[in-house]
Structure 1
Amino acid sequence: MIHRLFTIFVFLLNTVLFSHPTYTVVVDPGHGGVAKEPMSVYGDKYDTITQSYLEKYKQGTEHGSHTEREIVLGLAREVQKVLKLTETEEGFEKFTEYLKKFSSSKSFPRIVLNGHLTRNSSFELDPQSEDVNAPYRLYDFPNPKTSERTKGRLSYINSLKPHLVLSLHLNPAGKGQVGGMAAVLTPGYATFKILKDISDGKKKPKAFLNSPWSDWLVFAGGWSKLENAMTDAWIYFHGYWADKSGKKADLSKFEGYRQNMVTWRYADKRGWENLLKANSQGPYSKSHAGFRAEGSFWEREQSKKEIWRREGGREGFGGDNHYVTSELMRFVQYGVREQLQNKKGEYPEMGPIQKPYISTYSLPTYTNAICAFIEIGYINRKRDIKILTEHKKETAISLAVGIYSLFVGLEMKKPKMMPVIPKGKPVNWERYGKYFEEAESP
């Protein structure tokens, strides 16, 4: 009897969800774990070659009583609540009232935004676990008792086959930094190939310095943006850092073959570790001259769909990843102001949209979904934190309405003196076909 009732419930749920166009959205509140010692137990980025974690868990930024992990978790939960409204007719009526704050349209296409959270907790709330970082790691890792492979966050996201991932983070502001928000981007194969060719003497530095990607994140102190970018290209192709000259691998700094740290169809074939001994030529070569972009991951990286995701596009570079990130930031800038304006029509002050952060970030690379990776505020700027804590509902509504617009479009109201107005244009989802369903292992 119970089984029959459950079957009926599932049937009715599917009838509600799938009688309208349905899109899967993953909301990823960044971090969640703790940078705890020893790294051999609590680290991330598990490498099957050395059978060890290659880095400490990145627990995120903190300032005073505020932590990145808790602020973005609170916001992510609010976004999920608003997305869930689209699953029922009654809920969509309420969602429509939110849409009317942004658009003068009289009717709105009915869709379902099937939302998922990558985490609903943080390590402080789950102290009984022996491995406090187990629910929060990005990459796969072995169960310490059984040695069986456990899926990390990237593998979990790919298993959900999402169309869109919204990853929420905070930054610490440096001296003179006024706050605001910024996109986080990783380029496609073509840009890394330019950097590889510069390292190899086949291209001049201007090939990169004259590109829109030239404002690269400086993570190696005392190195130029070009030197940091060339090192990231070595990490992307070889798994190793480069020396400062960018001419050869620094074998003391290994980041791992990250495509093989994820459970998905683009991982190399089982036993790939045995091929490392013959590494002078091929995908595991430690030199640019010997490197060959061979295997399913590198085929994927050079495909049209990855070009669409990560290169070119409406923002001029960064592909659909850049567009969706910028568009959602514009929706927050617009929506928070519109919802919180006073009786005189005056808008609250907000920090600006900053230039993107560019490096070899994992989430935009190792998921097939279009990825909106947002540093949505600066933890040590009171104005940003006030909006994200005291007005997280208005922020969440703005993000959810922006997500809706990315799927069907939205004709925006254009109030006078509104400094930022979203474009309201949807992504060309049709050209991707079933790409979002293909990342999971066959």
Structure 2
Amino acid sequence: MKKLALLTFLSALTSNSIIAQSLSIETKGIIDFRLTSTSSSDSYIKGGLGKFRYSDGTRLSIAHAGLEANIGINDHWSARVVANGYLDGEDDAIGLTEAFFKYQGLPSEGGYRLSSRIGVFYPAISLEHVATGWASKDTLTGSTLNTWIGEEVRVAGLEGKLTKLGKFAGKSYDLSLTATVFKNNDPTGALLAWHGWTQSVRQTLYHESRPFPPRLSPELVDQASESDPFRDVDGNPGFHVSGEWKKRRKGSFSFGYYDNQAKPFLIEQGNYGWKTRFYHLGGRWRFDHDLELTWQYLHGDTLMQNLQRQDIVNAGYGSGYVMLSKRWQKKHRFSVRLEEFSVDDRDSTELDNNDEYGKAATFSYQYRLSKGWFLSTEYNWIDSWRPSRSYIDLPVDTTERQLQLSARYFFNH
């Protein structure tokens, strides 16, 4: 189903040769060369319980190679296709992450403007990943909150957005409301429950499945060894609603609620539906041209049951961060991010304790070498308590550290 949706989108762009010849195409990209030294265990990317994308050790990698095509169709319609690739020695892969059509209407006399998206895309949640290819603008690693969004939260659906433009009424701010109806996100929550919160910029490609850590409970014998987060299990549509207040040249405040409305007792090819819901809040504010504060908080729950509708996994979860970023002399940027995260196991399934609590800190420096080129160094620290580590003979309390050097190049044609 998800492959069919992407093929339909791509064929719609190319099926009419006359239309194809009149398209305007802008391409943007990123390539991130990175040297990383990590003190951790096997990465969650490989089915371990390490919090970072890289397992223990030192390695040179292409941490991110992304290409984004923005296709102008006419004055109101456009399309976007985003492909990302990773050559990191953990799980090398390349594929699509987003593909959608976008409509943007003209403002009415009263200052109302309607826009929409249809296809596969990220819901409007992250305030960090605003650069090309969903890259993080100020740091080399995303927060735990947005790492989860990149791993498990993607929608195939229809989004409508209504914006009240303040300039039509002499106001310095805009107000917007967004509603999305979607499918293909039923297993969302499985990876978060079983490996906990993590920290990286590794996005799950739309065709990918992700491995779970070892599970010992006999209640989980029907569960596949990998999660396919962008699968539709029950046919039910989910929804996401959000609102935003945005003051020009100063900042914004946003809120939203997500519910995939999955039936948690159904299973398809080893993937259960996980009834996953959460609300999110966030804001960004510029105190002056060079100093910016960004914060987000997310809290929700997820439920998976057996065919008898008995709870197998019932967990609450939350994550939040505060980041301060300072630009200096136009070429230098310093960013500090502090985080706290947790998972609350509410079921009684034996040998499946998903409790977790942790804190994290990130210290990042970025230097603009020339147009498009950025040199960065970053230190990441995560201290967490997770009882399920004892199942694979790891310490329940663990401190993980990571030092990174990066050369990132952003291009636009």
Q: TM-score with structure 1 length normalisation? A: 0.26
Return the structure number with greater relative CO, CA threshold 8 A, min gap 6.
Answer: 1
Q: TM-score with structure 2 length normalisation? A: 0.27
As a proportion of its length, which structure holds more strand?
Answer: 2
As a proportion of its length, which structure holds more helix?
Answer: 1
**Could you say which structure has the larger radius of gyration?**
1
